[in-house]
Amino acid sequence: MNKIAEVVVIGGGVIGCSIAYYLAKKGVKVIVVEKREGLCLGASGANQGACPVQLFESPVLELVKESVKLYKGLSEAIEYDIEYQNTGSLLCSVDEEQYPDMEKHVQRICRSGVNARLIEGNELRELEPTLGKDVIVGVEEQDSGMVNPFKVNYGLAHAAGKLGAEFLLSAEVSKIEINKDKVTSVVTDRGEIKTNFVVNAAGAWSPAIGAMLGLTIPIRPRRGQIIVTEPVPLNKRWRYIIDADYLTIAFDVEAAEKSQDARMKLGVAGSYVQENTGNWTIGSSRDFVGYNNQVTMPTVKYLAKRVIEFMPRFKDVNCIRTYAGLRPFCYVDGLPILSKVDNAAGFVIATGHAGEGVALAPITGKLISELITENRTSLPIDAFAFSRFKSAKTKSS
Amino acid sequence: MEKKKDIIVCRCEELTEQEVRDTIRRFNLRTANEVKRLTRAGMGLCQGRTCEPLIKRIMAEETNRKVSEMLPLTKRPPTRPINIKFLAEEGEGEVE
């Protein structure tokens, strides 16, 4: 069965569905193609739903800030509660050697306009009795938030559907047709769709879509493992607590790989989020094992060890579930790719969000919809251009 | 049908049959996994042991298919709740 669309979005995760929603809002006829039987089945459904503001520097910080703003109004806009909450966050350390880094960190983020302050260990424990005696210092920040990623994904898709977007599930893309350097159609095992625009929002699977046009998209699947606990009483002050090691491990792949420490090697840095239900998700980890999304015992062990260092109460809490997701990580510079492509007019890339896909979904949808309909964006996206990879070449057809 | 509204199908997450049906209809869901993700059915302490057959039956009714055609919920380790301390000491001999 053949169809016609103005834009075909490949990928039914938070990024693809957000793009579909923002395009549909502008009256654009969109078809979302998803190879799996439902939405939100990749990294979008295997994360902690956190939108951290204090972890990023420019140029990603500007996107995160704007995205959090969009999240604030999203439930109302799509008439569905995505469970957005402004929780703030606490980044803290159990390592005395990190104290000077924490001072630098708070100065840096304050300079970039984030409302943050440094708090000493004893005051931290007064404010949040669940924190252990090893926590020496923390940086509190008030802009971060959390959402329910499944509800974001399905809520955006549903809202897009009401505005005319179509969803083609269990449909795998086999080919993208090009004529005179312009995209003309997308071929799937459920039929062909004639279109002038194709958005590659396939996350960790985006390189395979790029390869159909001879493009090398420098993305590798990065596995992240997470433990879920039984519900426990809500924390008094902070329900989003981050290990200061996150600043190094998450953003410096080489440092983690070269480390002699077993935990560092597995890319384990604490990221703890307590949901409204009282359940905690305990992350985070990062390793590169192809498309294997299994949970592994060594990583779970170090996630468990680490959380007990920060909050000893976890010794007596049960793990009820574990899961892992494959995040699209740009191995050149770790930044997202939000870009058109030379020599393939109509092909747009929106991937490389690594662990920040949920946090960046609204702003990505908004910017990509602007890029397609107006050929300009309300925030600068030059830093995310595909042309930054000099070695990447298009196969002329 | 009115009576069904308050029947709890997932005891762990205190979810009613009506909430499950409403979610399936609102989003045109086709799989039990989607119900789990959107309603938390099967995400509690028992990890779907009680509610999975019920969710599948409701899904089959709502989509005019057979229960045998329903895909199972994704199974996530551990099979039973396990203490975080025990995980942290895995492979380290004596547990304190």
* Residues of B whose CB is below 8 A from A323: 76
For residue B94, what pLDDT is reported? 56
Domain contains B96: no
In angstroms, what CA-CA distances link A15 with A152, A185, A293, B8, B96? 10, 21, 20, 34, 46
Predicted pLDDT of residue B95: 47
Q: Which two tokens stand for residue A254?
A: 């080489």
- Tell whether B61 is covered by a domain: yes
- The answer to the question of residue B54 being in a domain is yes
The boundaries of the domain holding residue B83 are 2-88
B81 to chain A: which residues are within 8 Å by CB? Answer: 230, 318-320
User: Does any domain span residue B31?
Assistant: yes
The dotted CATH code for A3-45+149-218+333-388 is: 3.50.50.60
Pairing of strands A280-283, A271-274: antiparallel
pLDDT in tens, chain A (397 residues): 689 999 999 999 999 999 999 999 999 999 999 999 999 999 999 999 999 999 999 999 999 999 999 999 999 999 999 999 999 999 999 999 999 999 999 999 999 999 999 999 999 999 999 999 999 999 999 999 999 999 999 999 999 999 999 999 999 999 999 999 999 999 999 999 999 999 999 999 999 999 999 999 999 999 999 999 999 999 999 999 999 999 988 778 788 888 899 999 999 999 999 999 999 999 999 999 999 999 999 999 999 999 999 999 999 999 999 999 999 999 999 999 999 999 899 999 999 999 999 999 999 999 999 999 999 999 999 999 999 997 544 434 3
Search chain B and give the residue with CA nearest A279. Answer: B44
Q: Is B62 exposed, middle or buried (0-12, 13-18, 19+ CB in 10 A)?
A: middle
Residue B31 maps to which CATH number? 1.10.10.1100
Domains A3-45+149-218+333-388 and A89-142+220-330 share a fold: no
Q: Which residue has the tokens 């630098």?
A: A104
Tell me the residue type at B27: F
Model confidence band, residue B96 (pLDDT cutoffs 50, 70, 90): very low
Asked, for residue B18, whether it belongs to a domain, the answer is yes
Find out whether A29 and A6 touch, Cβ atoms under 8 Å.
yes
> pLDDT by residue (tens digit) across A63-102?
999 999 999 999 999 999 999 999 999 999 999 999 999 9
Per-residue b or e along B25-45, where b marks 16 or more CB atoms closer than 10 Å to that residue's CB: eebebbbbbbbbbbbbbbbbe
CATH class of the domain comprising A89-142+220-330: alpha beta
Flag whether B65 is in a domain.
Answer: yes
Nearest in space to A327 (alpha carbons), one of A34, A64, A44, A53: A44
pLDDT digits 0-9 by tens, B19-32: 999 999 999 999 99
* Beta-strand relationship, A197-200 and A7-10: parallel
Chain A: which residues have CB within 8 Å of chain B?
37-40, 45, 150-151, 154, 157-158, 169, 227-230, 277, 279, 282, 295, 297, 300-301, 303-305, 307-308, 314-323
Structural domain boundaries in chain A: 3-45+149-218+333-388, 89-142+220-330
Rounded to a whole number of angstroms, the distance from the CA of B21 to the nearest CA of chain A is 16
Looking at residue A234, its pLDDT comes to 97
Quick one: average pLDDT of B5-10? 89
Question: What order do you get walking across the sheet with A318-330 strand by strand?
Answer: A116-120, A137-141, A89-93, A240-243, A271-274, A280-283, A219-229, A318-330, B82-83
C-beta atoms surrounding A216 within 10 Å: 14
Structural domain count of chain B: 1
Place of tokens 């100065």: A107
Predicted ipTM of the assembly: 0.92
Q: Which of A238-242, B15-19, B88-92 has the lowest mean pLDDT?
A: B88-92
Q: Would residue B24 count as lying in a domain?
A: yes
| Cα-trace Rg, chain B | 17
**Encoding tokens for residue A125?**
């424990």
What spatial distance separates the first Cα and last Cα of chain A, rounded to whole Å?
Answer: 26
**Residue B1 above 60 pLDDT?**
no
In a domain, B94, yes or no: no
A37:B29 CB<8 A: no
Q: Tens digit of pLDDT for each residue in A152-191?
A: 999 999 999 999 999 999 999 999 999 999 999 999 999 9
Contacts of B76 in chain A (CB under 8 A): 295, 321-323
Straight-line distance from the first to the last Cα atom of chain B, in angstroms, rounded to the nearest whole number: 54
Spell out which residues of chain A touch residue B26, defining contact as CB-CB under 8 Å.
158
